Amino acid sequence: MNKDSKIFIAGHRGMVGSSIVENLKFNGYNNIITATSNELDLTNQEGCNNFVNENRPEVVIIAAARVGGILANSEYPWEFLYENLMIEANLINAAHQNNVQDLIFLGSSCIYPKMASQPLKEDYLLTGSLEPTNEWYAIAKITGVKMCQALNKEYGRNYISLMPTNLYGPRDNFNLETSHVLPAMMRKFHEAKQAGHTPVSLWGSGSPKREFLHTSDLAESVRFIMEYEGKLDHDLINVGTGKDLMIKELAETIQGVIGHKGIIEWDVSKPDGTPRKLMNVSRINELGWKAKISLKKGIETTYGWFLENQKILKEVKIGN
Protein backbone atom coordinates (compact mmCIF):
# COMPACT_ATOMS: atom_id res chain seq x y z
CA MET A 1 0.00 0.00 0.00
CA ASN A 2 1.48 3.36 -1.04
CA LYS A 3 0.74 6.64 0.69
CA ASP A 4 -0.60 7.93 -2.62
CA SER A 5 -2.88 4.92 -3.23
CA LYS A 6 -6.34 6.16 -4.13
CA ILE A 7 -8.71 5.22 -1.31
CA PHE A 8 -12.46 5.79 -1.43
CA ILE A 9 -13.99 6.12 2.03
CA ALA A 10 -17.77 5.85 1.80
CA GLY A 11 -19.54 7.53 4.73
CA HIS A 12 -16.67 9.93 5.52
CA ARG A 13 -18.89 12.37 7.45
CA GLY A 14 -20.10 9.70 9.88
CA MET A 15 -18.59 8.87 13.25
CA VAL A 16 -16.61 5.92 11.88
CA GLY A 17 -15.81 7.25 8.41
CA SER A 18 -14.50 10.56 9.76
CA SER A 19 -12.27 8.72 12.20
CA ILE A 20 -10.85 6.60 9.38
CA VAL A 21 -10.20 9.69 7.23
CA GLU A 22 -8.47 11.37 10.17
CA ASN A 23 -6.31 8.31 10.86
CA LEU A 24 -5.28 7.76 7.24
CA LYS A 25 -4.44 11.45 6.70
CA PHE A 26 -2.45 11.52 9.94
CA ASN A 27 -0.51 8.51 8.69
CA GLY A 28 0.38 10.20 5.41
CA TYR A 29 -2.26 8.91 2.99
CA ASN A 30 -2.77 11.76 0.56
CA ASN A 31 -5.14 10.46 -2.08
CA ILE A 32 -8.40 9.92 -0.21
CA ILE A 33 -11.62 10.41 -2.11
CA THR A 34 -15.02 10.99 -0.54
CA ALA A 35 -18.59 11.94 -1.46
CA THR A 36 -21.47 13.02 0.73
CA SER A 37 -24.80 11.23 0.41
CA ASN A 38 -26.11 14.33 -1.38
CA GLU A 39 -23.37 14.08 -3.98
CA LEU A 40 -23.59 10.29 -4.29
CA ASP A 41 -26.58 8.33 -3.02
CA LEU A 42 -25.12 4.85 -2.59
CA THR A 43 -28.58 3.29 -2.80
CA ASN A 44 -28.57 4.37 -6.47
CA GLN A 45 -26.88 1.64 -8.49
CA GLU A 46 -26.12 3.66 -11.60
CA GLY A 47 -24.74 6.60 -9.65
CA CYS A 48 -22.57 4.28 -7.61
CA ASN A 49 -21.19 2.46 -10.68
CA ASN A 50 -20.45 5.74 -12.45
CA PHE A 51 -18.64 7.16 -9.41
CA VAL A 52 -16.36 4.13 -9.02
CA ASN A 53 -15.79 3.92 -12.77
CA GLU A 54 -14.86 7.61 -13.07
CA ASN A 55 -12.71 7.77 -9.93
CA ARG A 56 -10.96 4.40 -10.17
CA PRO A 57 -10.08 3.90 -6.48
CA GLU A 58 -7.53 1.22 -5.58
CA VAL A 59 -9.14 0.56 -2.21
CA VAL A 60 -12.77 0.98 -1.10
CA ILE A 61 -13.71 1.30 2.58
CA ILE A 62 -17.45 1.03 3.31
CA ALA A 63 -18.33 3.03 6.42
CA ALA A 64 -21.63 4.24 4.94
CA ALA A 65 -24.78 2.73 6.39
CA ARG A 66 -28.12 3.51 7.94
CA VAL A 67 -27.22 3.20 11.62
CA GLY A 68 -29.25 3.47 14.84
CA GLY A 69 -30.12 2.02 18.24
CA ILE A 70 -32.91 -0.35 19.35
CA LEU A 71 -35.68 2.26 18.97
CA ALA A 72 -34.72 3.33 15.44
CA ASN A 73 -34.24 -0.30 14.37
CA SER A 74 -37.64 -1.39 15.61
CA GLU A 75 -39.47 1.63 14.18
CA TYR A 76 -37.84 1.61 10.74
CA PRO A 77 -37.30 -2.07 9.81
CA TRP A 78 -37.74 -1.43 6.08
CA GLU A 79 -35.26 1.45 5.89
CA PHE A 80 -32.65 -0.48 7.89
CA LEU A 81 -32.98 -3.53 5.67
CA TYR A 82 -33.39 -1.86 2.29
CA GLU A 83 -30.92 1.02 2.54
CA ASN A 84 -28.15 -1.09 4.01
CA LEU A 85 -28.63 -3.84 1.45
CA MET A 86 -28.58 -1.35 -1.42
CA ILE A 87 -25.51 0.54 -0.16
CA GLU A 88 -23.53 -2.70 0.22
CA ALA A 89 -24.71 -4.42 -2.95
CA ASN A 90 -24.13 -1.36 -5.11
CA LEU A 91 -20.72 -0.49 -3.74
CA ILE A 92 -19.33 -4.03 -3.50
CA ASN A 93 -20.54 -4.79 -7.02
CA ALA A 94 -19.23 -1.47 -8.41
CA ALA A 95 -15.84 -2.17 -6.82
CA HIS A 96 -15.73 -5.65 -8.33
CA GLN A 97 -16.94 -4.54 -11.78
CA ASN A 98 -14.26 -1.84 -11.82
CA ASN A 99 -11.51 -4.23 -10.78
CA VAL A 100 -10.91 -2.83 -7.29
CA GLN A 101 -8.91 -5.62 -5.62
CA ASP A 102 -9.02 -4.40 -1.99
CA LEU A 103 -12.15 -3.52 -0.03
CA ILE A 104 -13.01 -3.26 3.64
CA PHE A 105 -16.64 -3.66 4.61
CA LEU A 106 -17.73 -2.60 8.09
CA GLY A 107 -20.48 -4.59 9.71
CA SER A 108 -21.50 -5.01 13.31
CA SER A 109 -21.51 -7.53 16.15
CA CYS A 110 -25.30 -7.85 15.75
CA ILE A 111 -24.69 -10.29 12.86
CA TYR A 112 -24.13 -13.04 15.44
CA PRO A 113 -27.01 -15.09 16.92
CA LYS A 114 -28.73 -13.70 20.00
CA MET A 115 -27.97 -16.75 22.12
CA ALA A 116 -24.55 -17.61 20.73
CA SER A 117 -22.00 -18.52 23.38
CA GLN A 118 -19.74 -15.72 24.50
CA PRO A 119 -17.29 -14.32 23.57
CA LEU A 120 -18.60 -14.26 20.01
CA LYS A 121 -16.37 -16.02 17.51
CA GLU A 122 -16.50 -15.32 13.80
CA ASP A 123 -17.44 -19.01 13.28
CA TYR A 124 -20.78 -18.47 15.05
CA LEU A 125 -22.19 -16.60 12.06
CA LEU A 126 -25.51 -18.16 10.94
CA THR A 127 -25.64 -20.73 13.75
CA GLY A 128 -28.85 -19.43 15.38
CA SER A 129 -31.64 -16.82 15.47
CA LEU A 130 -30.84 -13.12 15.56
CA GLU A 131 -31.87 -10.56 18.17
CA PRO A 132 -35.36 -9.56 16.86
CA THR A 133 -34.98 -5.85 17.66
CA ASN A 134 -32.25 -5.39 15.06
CA GLU A 135 -32.58 -8.37 12.77
CA TRP A 136 -33.30 -6.12 9.77
CA TYR A 137 -29.97 -4.38 10.10
CA ALA A 138 -28.20 -7.65 10.94
CA ILE A 139 -29.56 -9.46 7.88
CA ALA A 140 -28.36 -6.65 5.63
CA LYS A 141 -24.90 -6.79 7.24
CA ILE A 142 -24.72 -10.60 6.96
CA THR A 143 -25.53 -10.25 3.27
CA GLY A 144 -22.63 -7.78 2.92
CA VAL A 145 -20.26 -10.31 4.53
CA LYS A 146 -21.51 -13.02 2.16
CA MET A 147 -21.15 -10.78 -0.90
CA CYS A 148 -17.50 -10.18 0.00
CA GLN A 149 -16.93 -13.89 0.62
CA ALA A 150 -18.56 -14.86 -2.67
CA LEU A 151 -16.29 -12.49 -4.62
CA ASN A 152 -13.20 -13.69 -2.74
CA LYS A 153 -14.09 -17.30 -3.45
CA GLU A 154 -15.06 -16.92 -7.08
CA TYR A 155 -12.85 -14.06 -8.26
CA GLY A 156 -9.94 -14.00 -5.79
CA ARG A 157 -10.80 -10.55 -4.45
CA ASN A 158 -9.39 -9.30 -1.14
CA TYR A 159 -12.67 -8.04 0.34
CA ILE A 160 -12.44 -8.12 4.14
CA SER A 161 -15.41 -7.72 6.48
CA LEU A 162 -14.55 -6.16 9.84
CA MET A 163 -17.16 -6.60 12.57
CA PRO A 164 -16.72 -3.93 15.22
CA THR A 165 -18.31 -4.18 18.61
CA ASN A 166 -20.32 -1.16 19.92
CA LEU A 167 -18.46 2.00 18.95
CA TYR A 168 -18.38 5.46 20.48
CA GLY A 169 -16.34 8.60 20.12
CA PRO A 170 -16.37 12.14 18.74
CA ARG A 171 -19.10 12.89 16.20
CA ASP A 172 -21.36 10.20 17.67
CA ASN A 173 -25.13 10.58 17.31
CA PHE A 174 -26.57 12.23 20.44
CA ASN A 175 -30.19 12.29 19.25
CA LEU A 176 -32.14 10.35 21.90
CA GLU A 177 -34.53 8.90 19.32
CA THR A 178 -31.85 7.31 17.16
CA SER A 179 -28.70 7.06 19.25
CA HIS A 180 -26.87 4.10 20.76
CA VAL A 181 -26.67 3.54 24.51
CA LEU A 182 -23.40 5.33 25.33
CA PRO A 183 -24.07 8.71 23.66
CA ALA A 184 -27.71 8.59 24.85
CA MET A 185 -26.52 8.19 28.45
CA MET A 186 -23.94 10.92 28.00
CA ARG A 187 -26.56 13.38 26.86
CA LYS A 188 -29.02 12.41 29.61
CA PHE A 189 -26.46 12.75 32.40
CA HIS A 190 -25.20 16.04 30.99
CA GLU A 191 -28.70 17.54 30.78
CA ALA A 192 -29.66 16.22 34.24
CA LYS A 193 -26.54 17.79 35.71
CA GLN A 194 -27.37 21.11 34.06
CA ALA A 195 -30.94 20.90 35.39
CA GLY A 196 -29.60 20.63 38.97
CA HIS A 197 -28.74 16.93 39.25
CA THR A 198 -32.25 15.64 38.51
CA PRO A 199 -32.83 11.84 38.29
CA VAL A 200 -31.82 10.09 35.08
CA SER A 201 -34.10 7.42 33.65
CA LEU A 202 -32.33 4.72 31.64
CA TRP A 203 -33.69 1.90 29.49
CA GLY A 204 -33.95 -1.66 30.76
CA SER A 205 -32.58 -3.31 33.88
CA GLY A 206 -28.94 -2.29 33.53
CA SER A 207 -27.85 -5.92 33.78
CA PRO A 208 -26.93 -6.75 30.16
CA LYS A 209 -23.22 -6.77 29.42
CA ARG A 210 -21.68 -4.88 26.54
CA GLU A 211 -18.29 -4.07 25.07
CA PHE A 212 -17.31 -0.61 23.78
CA LEU A 213 -14.55 0.38 21.37
CA HIS A 214 -13.40 3.92 20.69
CA THR A 215 -13.63 4.93 17.01
CA SER A 216 -9.95 5.94 16.98
CA ASP A 217 -9.08 2.35 17.88
CA LEU A 218 -11.44 1.08 15.17
CA ALA A 219 -9.82 3.41 12.62
CA GLU A 220 -6.41 2.02 13.61
CA SER A 221 -7.69 -1.51 13.01
CA VAL A 222 -8.97 -0.54 9.55
CA ARG A 223 -5.55 0.87 8.63
CA PHE A 224 -3.87 -2.20 10.12
CA ILE A 225 -5.93 -4.55 7.93
CA MET A 226 -5.54 -2.31 4.87
CA GLU A 227 -1.75 -2.30 5.25
CA TYR A 228 -1.49 -5.98 6.12
CA GLU A 229 1.05 -7.57 3.84
CA GLY A 230 0.39 -11.03 2.56
CA LYS A 231 -2.81 -12.99 2.32
CA LEU A 232 -5.11 -12.99 5.32
CA ASP A 233 -6.38 -16.44 6.31
CA HIS A 234 -9.84 -15.05 7.04
CA ASP A 235 -12.17 -12.55 5.41
CA LEU A 236 -14.42 -12.02 8.46
CA ILE A 237 -12.64 -10.46 11.44
CA ASN A 238 -14.04 -9.16 14.73
CA VAL A 239 -12.76 -5.88 16.16
CA GLY A 240 -13.19 -5.04 19.83
CA THR A 241 -11.45 -4.67 23.14
CA GLY A 242 -12.26 -8.23 24.27
CA LYS A 243 -13.61 -6.81 27.58
CA ASP A 244 -17.21 -6.12 28.54
CA LEU A 245 -19.05 -4.52 31.44
CA MET A 246 -22.61 -4.25 32.75
CA ILE A 247 -24.72 -1.38 31.40
CA LYS A 248 -25.09 -0.29 35.06
CA GLU A 249 -21.30 0.01 35.33
CA LEU A 250 -21.19 1.93 32.07
CA ALA A 251 -23.83 4.35 33.42
CA GLU A 252 -21.84 4.87 36.61
CA THR A 253 -18.63 5.51 34.65
CA ILE A 254 -20.33 8.13 32.47
CA GLN A 255 -22.05 9.65 35.50
CA GLY A 256 -18.65 9.93 37.22
CA VAL A 257 -16.94 11.53 34.22
CA ILE A 258 -19.76 14.06 33.82
CA GLY A 259 -20.09 14.72 37.55
CA HIS A 260 -23.84 14.07 37.81
CA LYS A 261 -24.87 13.66 41.47
CA GLY A 262 -28.54 12.63 41.05
CA ILE A 263 -30.07 9.15 41.12
CA ILE A 264 -30.38 6.66 38.27
CA GLU A 265 -33.80 5.07 37.63
CA TRP A 266 -33.93 1.89 35.52
CA ASP A 267 -37.04 1.68 33.31
CA VAL A 268 -37.62 -2.08 33.17
CA SER A 269 -40.62 -1.64 30.85
CA LYS A 270 -38.06 -0.99 28.08
CA PRO A 271 -36.25 -3.90 26.37
CA ASP A 272 -32.77 -4.98 27.42
CA GLY A 273 -31.79 -6.51 24.10
CA THR A 274 -29.23 -9.32 23.95
CA PRO A 275 -28.11 -10.35 27.48
CA ARG A 276 -24.42 -10.23 26.67
CA LYS A 277 -22.36 -9.18 23.68
CA LEU A 278 -18.63 -9.63 23.84
CA MET A 279 -16.44 -10.22 20.83
CA ASN A 280 -13.77 -12.87 20.66
CA VAL A 281 -10.98 -10.78 19.18
CA SER A 282 -8.25 -13.40 19.10
CA ARG A 283 -8.24 -13.46 15.29
CA ILE A 284 -7.22 -9.78 14.97
CA ASN A 285 -5.04 -9.92 18.12
CA GLU A 286 -3.08 -12.82 16.63
CA LEU A 287 -2.50 -10.79 13.48
CA GLY A 288 -0.86 -8.16 15.71
CA TRP A 289 -3.56 -5.57 16.45
CA LYS A 290 -4.94 -4.68 19.90
CA ALA A 291 -7.25 -1.89 21.15
CA LYS A 292 -5.40 0.77 23.17
CA ILE A 293 -7.90 3.32 24.53
CA SER A 294 -9.41 2.57 27.97
CA LEU A 295 -13.17 3.08 28.38
CA LYS A 296 -12.77 5.83 30.98
CA LYS A 297 -10.25 7.75 28.85
CA GLY A 298 -12.44 7.28 25.77
CA ILE A 299 -15.53 8.58 27.61
CA GLU A 300 -13.56 11.59 28.87
CA THR A 301 -12.40 12.57 25.37
CA THR A 302 -15.86 11.94 23.89
CA TYR A 303 -17.46 14.11 26.58
CA GLY A 304 -14.84 16.79 25.89
CA TRP A 305 -15.86 16.73 22.25
CA PHE A 306 -19.56 16.81 23.20
CA LEU A 307 -19.03 19.91 25.34
CA GLU A 308 -17.06 21.70 22.62
CA ASN A 309 -19.65 20.90 19.97
CA GLN A 310 -22.86 21.33 21.90
CA LYS A 311 -23.96 24.41 20.02
CA ILE A 312 -23.52 22.76 16.64
CA LEU A 313 -25.15 19.57 17.91
CA LYS A 314 -28.18 21.50 19.14
CA GLU A 315 -28.65 23.17 15.76
CA VAL A 316 -27.80 20.28 13.48
CA LYS A 317 -28.13 16.92 15.13
CA ILE A 318 -29.68 16.52 18.55
CA GLY A 319 -32.52 19.01 18.12
CA ASN A 320 -34.30 20.09 21.26
Ligand X SMILES: NC(=O)c1ccc[n+]([C@@H]2O[C@H](COP(=O)([O-])OP(=O)(O)OC[C@H]3O[C@@H](n4cnc5c(N)ncnc54)[C@H](OP(=O)(O)O)[C@@H]3O)[C@@H](O)[C@H]2O)c1
Of 167 and 186, nearer to ligand X (C-beta) is: 167
278 binds ligand X (CB under 6 A): no
Q: Verify cis geometry, omega within 30 degrees of 0, for the bond prior to 119.
A: yes
- The one-letter code for the residue type at 121 is K
Provide the minimum distance between the beta carbon of 198 and ligand X in the complex, in angstroms, as a whole number.
27
Task: Give the interface segment with ligand X, choosing from 105-113, 242-250, 293-301, 305-313 (CB under 6 A).
Answer: 105-113
**Active-site entry in 137, 155, 159, 168:** 137
Task: Name the packing angle between helices 215-227 and 15-26 (round to 10°).
Answer: 60
What is the spatial distance between Cα 148 and Cα 122, in angstroms, rounded to a whole number? 15
Please classify residue 183 by burial: count the beta carbons closer than 10 Å to its beta carbon, then call 0-12 exposed, 13-18 middle and 19+ buried.
buried
Task: Give the interface segment with ligand X, choosing from 164-172, 228-236, 249-257, 308-316 (CB under 6 A).
Answer: 164-172
Query: Residues near 74 by Cβ (< 8 Å), separated by ≥ 6?
Result: 133, 134
Of 36-95, binders to ligand X (CB under 6 A) are 36-37, 40-43, 63-67, 83, 87
Strand ordering across the sheet containing 209-210: 245-246, 209-210, 276-277
Of 41 and 249, nearer to ligand X (C-beta) is: 41
Name the pairing type of β-strands 200-203 and 236-239: unpaired
Q: Is 83 helix (H, G, I), strand (E, B) or coil?
A: helix
Task: Give the interface segment with ligand X, choosing from 33-41, 119-127, 241-249, 296-304 (CB under 6 A).
Answer: 33-41
Near ligand X by CB under 6 A: residue from 7, 8, 9, 11: 11
Please confirm, yes or no, whether 155 is among the known catalytic residues.
no
The binding site for ligand X (CB under 6 A) comprises: 11, 13-17, 36-37, 40-43, 63-67, 83, 87, 106-108, 164, 166-167, 180
Task: List residues with catalytic annotation.
Answer: 137
